[in-house]
Each structure stands twice: as structure tokens, then as C-alpha cells.
Chains A and B, each alone.
Chain A
């Protein structure tokens, strides 16, 4: 495999609050390879968006990236000057956000805002920029691009605005496109179109994509590799097929079983994960998932697990791992998936 284009190592981002620091991203490390499409999934508060913002140093106050490194072309993005990171944003690494409505300036014409992305990096003359903008709008399949280029954002539908944002992201042919929940605000039919577009761009232009989402279906359709985050940490990562077939972390496993599938053949009760995500001001000791985990053992309550390679390319941070849970705790035929149910370590037996 080629060398990674982006190496994130031990990334740590904290938000200071009245009650103390909250570590939103805790020791996150991963690689992104050229041309691949990597999914980062997690629920709200899992740190997936803050991870993306930290890469480009866009974390809003009172957040601060307090440790780690982000290596891009041998330079650490966390160490370069403000000017240098400004040059890299939008030119080498572009980002699109969830809400295309608030990402576009309502008083400037859409085309102008895309031109600007090129002009800001001195990549083109105004005339060249406009030609390319129209070409980009065609590329993202906006009909009648020559006239739409003069539309204000409010004249475009939600789906078209998101297409315009993608066009803006692609304006300088970046090596990496980070998409933060780009389809969450859109209807399913529009979502499907945008995902297909991102997939095509990924294949045709070779732009590497980091797709941040809470939707496992989106990951299944677009990504080749996936990172699963829980409470600020990576709990599992690996090739998409392997993670969906044989998840190794109990969180991934439970998450996949709690989603209703539209193609299910009969009605089965959803296996919901009990409890809720931990308060990051006071994260639980040991493994952060242990208060909700059916397979927890004593060690999980005290010792923090680290990511380990369980199958080639597939890493999980779990003392038990689902291979063992399946073999020894009958995980596949479990009716009761309440905390500690499979391992016998029930709440009452936990020593405080």
C-alpha cells in the first residue's frame, strides 16, 4: 500500500468548562491513504466532528488541541504557522459541513463564493476561476450551471446548496476532502444523490474522503475503511466489510444490531444498548463502554484497553473482543444484552 497521506497521532482536544476540562478527542491515531474513503462513525458527543476540526485547527473556543500531531506531507499541521495552515485549508484539505444553508454567505452569489475559493489561494485569474466554477458546478451535476452560477444561495434547494459546497471544496483539487455529516439535513432521495456524487468524485478524481457520519448505512455505501468512535476514543477500526461482518468491539456489535433495516424480512425486537454515553467530565474508569457492555469482565472496570490488531487490518480496543464473546459467552444467541448479562458481571456485583 502507498504511504499514508495523512498521519494523525495521539490527537487530544479538550474543552475547558466551569467544571473542568472535557477531553472530547482522547488519544486518537489513524492514517488516511491517498484516494481512499474513510468513514468516522459515532453518536453525538463521540468526538468525530471535533477530530475533523482538530485536523484543520478549526476547533472553536473554548476548545484547544493539547497534544498529538497531524502529519501531512511531512509537516505537522498542529505546528505550522497560522498563515501556512490557512494556505493548506481549502487548497490541500477542504471541508464541507452539515448545513449548507449556513455555510454559504446569503448576500453573495453562489458562483462568486466558489471563485473566491480559488482566488484566495491565487490559483487562478478571476476569468479562469469563473470558467472553472461553471465546470465544477456541471461536475457536481447542477443543471444549467451557466445561469445557476449567478444565483444567490436562497435560490438553490438544499441539495443544490450542498452540491455547490462540494464544488467549492473541490475548487483547488484538494488531496483530501473532509465531509462532516454532509447529508444529515437532507431528504433521503437527495442524500442518495449526494453520496453517489461523492463516490464518483472519489473514484474519478482520486480525492481522499473522510466521511463523518452517525449513519452506518452511509458508511456501508461509500467507505472502504471505517473508524468507530465512542466517548472521545477510537474503539474499532478496519475494512468496512470486516467491521460489518465480524465487529470485534461490543459497541460496534451492539450498534449494528440496534438499527432497524429497511430490508429486514420480519419484525424483530431491536436490541437496544442500555444506558447512555458517559459524561466526559467524569468518564468511567477502565473501558469507557463497560457500564453498558454485556461482555465486561473485571479487568474492564479498572484497566483501559488499547487498540490491538485482532484480524489483519482490523483493530479493536477491548479486553474481551467479540471473537471471544462469540466463542465463550454465546454472543450470537443472546437474548439479554443488559450490562454484564453475558459475562455474569452484573451491576450489583461491581465494586464501586
Chain B
């Protein structure tokens, strides 16, 4: 297996790498009847740089999975634009969009529901290659076996069915399927959340190895900030359909610039009794407001420990802006965090 590496060594391209994906002012509203809509994603802009892992965290209902699907073109946007290189994906339809999908793959949370129980593992992994008529016959078989080997499974398992595998092994199958078409971006939507702790580490390491080997770019979505921070170069925090902060993963932990990020970080249990006992929890009061009717101004103002009410926090919506060297936050008082 590969030697331990530091993240910096993985990234010859570094922070200056060009954008692979650009998301501009993307909105996704789901109608829920009676003329009301759930504002799942409500105007977000960011870019994913070539070769990086961009982490996306937030609590349930914040819109992170919806955003992942919008990037992967599995859901149409309500408005806004998504670019892959210079191609505007959100304008493409039919066959042209289908061809672009080869570049965008997704790995899902539930390794039980995301594999067809009636297909063999070989057929599951071959399906993208067959769909796009990339190869067939002996060549296809060889490619499937190679993919199985790449994700650490026995290549002769191709005739088995998903139920014969454990959760961690199934997640490897899902990864092999995502790799089949040599995509450029893989969206990992809670890809390791359903796995046991010891298996999580195996899959995280595998994803890191594959990234280096195939120069992959990841959008890594999870609610577990410790895992996200570990795997990501940059971390993006969402709250109620908006991005509240984006920063380098070390920076965001050491110097969060949004009170929500700070509260989120303080809530994560650290597996160290001394640290954990000495920690001060920033308790958020109240509940997450409804995305049908989000609060005015800053959406976090109803729970924010440093909000100035009513003005500006309940009246003026803070923009996501560069605070220091690429550290973006959407808060009127980020210097006080």
C-alpha cells in the first residue's frame, strides 16, 4: 500500500489551480403545494479547483445534498449556472448533457440501496462503460477486473451479487462504478457516513489514494466535520440553503470567521477526554428555521450568539466575501467571531 503522505505533497497544483467547476448563483426551489416552495439552495456561488477536495458540511436540511446533485447534474437548477471548464452544463440538454455526465460521477451514502441487488458486481461496474459504448467483450471484462483491483477487491468477485458483500466492500463497488468512465469530478455524498469507524478509515484512505493516482477532484459532502476536515483541502459550510463560509481546512478550524462554523466546531466531540472536558460548547438556541420561510437578513440571526438586532443582522443579508487571503465568510461581524 501507499506510504503515508502529507496533503501538501498530493497537490502540486496547490491553491492556484484553475477551476474545474464553477457554480454561479445557483438556486433550487422545490414546490410543496399552495404556491409555497422549499428554498433548498438559495443563491450560491463557488468553484471547485482542479485536483482539490472541497468539503461541504452542514446540518440536516441545509441543502448540501441538493447542492451536490445540482453540481452532478442529477437535478435541474431553478436558476443560476454551473460550468465544467468552460462548458455551461446548465444550458445543455439531451445527448450533449449526457456526454458531459461522463466527467461527473457520484458516490452515494447507502451502499445497500445504491447497488441493484439483481445485477452482478461485474455488471454494475460495467454498466457505465456499456451505456457509453466505451468498450465491450474481453476488453470490458479486463477493465472491470482492473477496477475491482484498483478499489482493493478481488478481481474474481465480478460474478458475485451485492448481498454477498459487507457495507465497506459495497462502498468500494460504488467507487469502482464511479471510476469506470475516468471522470474528472466525483461527488461523494455522505459516502462514508453509514460505515463503521474502522471501515471509514479504509475508505477515506482509498479515496485519497485514488485521487492521487487518477488526478480526481472531489466534492466531499458529509455532516461529520472531523472527516471532512481530514480529507478536504478547503471546507465550505452551508446553513439553510446558503454558503456561510469557505476556507482552507486548517484555517477554518483555527480561525473560523462565521459564528455558525464556530458553534459547529465546538459541538464536535473530540476523542480525547482532556480536550473534551476542557471544551466550551457554544450552544445554539432555538431550532433551525424552516427553509420554506427563511429569516430575513442573515438567515442565522435567529440563533446567532453575536447578532446585532434588528439592524443590520435581521435586515441586511451579508454577502459571502473574501475576509483574508481566500477565506470567505458571510457575516457582518466576522472580525468578532
Tell me whether chain A's interface is mostly helix, strand or loop, or mixed.
loop
In residues 259-284 of chain A, which contact B (Cβ within 8 Å)?
259-274, 276-277
A43 near B269: Cβ-Cβ < 8 Å: no
Query: Which A residues touch B273, using CB under 8 A?
Result: 220-221, 240-241, 244
Residues on the B chain within 8 Å of A220, using CB: 269-273, 275-276
Q: What is the 8 Å Cβ interface bit string for chain A, positions 226-267, against chain B (1 contact, 0 not)?
A: 000000000000001100100000000011101111111111
Q: Is the CB of A270 within 8 A of B199?
A: no
Give the shortest distance, in Å, between B26 (CB) and chain A (any CB). 24
Q: Which of B227, B230, B275 contacts A267 (CB 8 A)?
A: B230
Q: What distance in Å separates the Cβ of B304 from its nearest Cβ neighbour in chain A? A: 13
Chain A residues, Cβ within 8 Å of B197 = 43, 214, 216, 255, 258-259
| Chain B binder among A83-91, A169-177, A188-196, A315-323 | A188-196
Check A260 against B198 for contact (C-beta < 8 Å): no
Check A221–B168 contact: CB distance below 8 A.
no
Q: Which residues of B contact A219 (CB under 8 A)?
A: 271
Residue B60 is within 8 A (CB to CB) of chain A in the complex: yes
Given contacts A220-B269, A261-B226, contact A255 B284 (CB under 8 A): no
For residue B230, which residues in chain A have a CB less than 8 angstroms away from its CB? 260, 264, 267, 270
B306 at the interface (CB under 8 A from A): no
CB < 8 Å: which of B6, B267, B269 contacts A268? B6
Provided the pairs A43-B196, A276-B199 are in contact, do residues A261 and B267 lie with their beta carbons within 8 angstroms?
Answer: no
Per-residue contact bits, chain B 65-84, to A (CB 8 Å; 1 contact, 0 not): 00000000000000000000
* A276 engages B168 (CB within 8 Å): yes
Q: Across the two chains, which residue of chain B brings its CB closest to A338?
A: B1
The CA-CA distance from A191 to B230 in the complex, in Å, is 21
* Chain A residues, Cβ within 8 Å of B201: 258-260, 270-273
State how many residues of chain B have any CB contact under 8 Å with chain A.
51
User: A288 CA to B267 CA in the complex, in Å?
Assistant: 35
Other A-B pairs beyond A220-B273, A268-B4, 16, CB < 8 Å:
A43-B197, A44-B196, A188-B264, A188-B267, A217-B269, A218-B269, A221-B276, A244-B273, A254-B198, A255-B198, A258-B197, A259-B197, A260-B231, A264-B229, A269-B205, A272-B205
A256 — which chain B residues lie within 8 A by C-beta? 271
Which residue in chain A gives the minimum CB-CB distance to B169? A276
Chain B residues positioned under 8 Å from A259 (CB to CB): 197, 201, 226, 271
In the complex the two chains form, is B271's CB within 8 Å of A217's CB? yes
User: In the bound complex, how far is the Cα of B229 from the Cα of A262, in angstroms?
Assistant: 7
Tell me, in angstroms, the Cα distance from A260 to B270 when the chains sit together. Answer: 9
Q: How far is the CA of A262 from the CA of B43 in the complex (A)?
A: 29
A188 B225 Cβ-Cβ under 8 A:
yes
Q: Which residues of B contact A10 (CB under 8 A)?
A: none
Cross-chain contact A262 with B265 (CB below 8 angstroms): yes
Known contacts A259-B226, A270-B204, A276-B168: does B59 contact A188 (CB below 8 Å)? Answer: yes
Note all chain B residues with C-beta closer than 8 A to A261.
Answer: 226, 270-272
On whether the beta carbons of B287 and A157 are closer than 8 Å, the reply is: yes
Q: What are 28 inter-chain pairs, A to B, with CB distance below 8 A?
A: A43-B198, A44-B196, A157-B287, A159-B287, A187-B223, A189-B267, A192-B266, A192-B281, A192-B283, A214-B196, A214-B197, A217-B276, A220-B275, A221-B269, A259-B197, A259-B226, A260-B204, A261-B270, A261-B271, A262-B268, A270-B204, A270-B205, A270-B230, A272-B201, A274-B202, A276-B168, A277-B198, A338-B1
| Chain B residues near A187 (CB-CB < 8 A) | 59-60, 223
* Chain B residues closer than 8 Å to A43, beta-carbon distance: 196-198
Q: Mark B1-37, 1 if CB is under 8 A from A, else 0.
A: 1011111100000000000000000000000000000
On chain B, the residues within 8 Å of A264 by CB distance are 229-230
Q: Which residues of chain B in 174-218 are interfacial with respect to chain A, using CB atoms and an 8 Å cutoff?
A: 196-202, 204-205, 208
Do the beta carbons of B3 and A335 come within 8 Å of each other?
yes
B303–chain A nearest beta-carbon distance, Å: 9
Chain B residues contacting A101 (CB-CB under 8 Å) are: none
Q: Are B263 and A195 in contact (CB under 8 A)?
A: no
User: B334 on the interface (CB 8 Å rule)?
Assistant: no
Give chain B nearest CB distance to A47 CB in angstroms. Answer: 14
Q: Is A215 an interface residue (CB 8 A)?
A: yes
A189 CB contacts on chain B under 8 angstroms: 59, 263-264, 267, 284
CB proximity to B under 8 Å, residues A191-206 = 191-193, 195-196
Within the complex, the shortest CB–CB distance from A100 to chain B, in Å, comes to: 14
Compute how far the CA of A219 lies from the CA of B168 in the bound complex, rounded to whole angstroms: 24
Nearest to B277 among chain A residues (CB) is A221
Query: CB-nearest residue of chain B relative to A230?
Result: B198
A258 to B204, CA, bound (A): 10
- In the bound assembly, the distance between CA atoms of A274 and B152 in angstroms comes to 11
Residue on A nearest B58 in the bound complex, by CB: A187
Most-contacted residue by chain B among A157, A266, A270, A274 (CB, 10 A):
A270
Asked if B166 is an interface residue, CB under 8 A from chain A, the answer is yes
Contact B268 A260 (CB under 8 A): no
Q: How far is the CB of B76 from chain A (nearest CB, A)?
A: 28
> CA–CA, A202 to B281, complex, Å?
18
Task: Tell me if B253 is interfacial: C-beta within 8 Å of chain A.
Answer: yes
Measured CA separation A266–B194 after assembly (Å): 26
B274 in the interface, Cβ–Cβ < 8 Å? yes
A191 to B281, CA, bound (A): 11
Pair B223/A272 contact, Cβ less than 8 Å: no
B3 and A272 contact, CB distance less than 8 A: no
Given the known interface contacts A259-B201, A267-B6, A273-B201, the answer about A195 and B226 at a Cβ–Cβ threshold of 8 Å is: no
Report Cα–Cα, A335/B287, bound state, in Å: 45
A262 B270 Cβ-Cβ under 8 A: yes
State the 7 A-B residue pairs at the shortest beta-carbon distance, nearest first.
A217-B269, A272-B201, A260-B230, A192-B267, A267-B7, A216-B271, A258-B201
